[in-house]
Amino acid sequence: MKHTVMGVRDGDDFASYEKTLPILSGELAALMDWKTEEDYVYDYKLTEKQINEIERICAISLPHNLTLFLTCSDN
């Protein structure tokens, strides 16, 4: 499963940022508090705490001037 962070500017309808995460689904499930595999298929607006944890676990920096969402796909 591919997990991607999408960033949207306030007032925009389309993402201006996209980053595929180098993380296993199980690690992300624990961070996102997912209980079932069905929880993986939704889009989630990320909290500041979730953003900070994703940055720490994946050793990446994400933009903090955008509203960030987590999306998942099978590709």
Structure pTM?
Answer: 0.90
Residue 73 clears pLDDT 90, i.e. is over it: no
Query: Mean pLDDT of all residues in the chain?
Result: 93
Q: What is the CATH number of the domain that holds 48?
A: 3.10.50
pLDDT at 67: 97
Q: Print the domain residue range for 42.
A: 2-73
Number of domains the chain contains: 1
Q: What percent of the chain has pLDDT over 70?
A: 99
pLDDT band at 40 (very low <50, low <70, confident <90, very high): confident
pLDDT at 39: 86
What is the distance between the alpha carbons of residues 3 and 72, in angstroms, rounded to a whole number?
A: 5
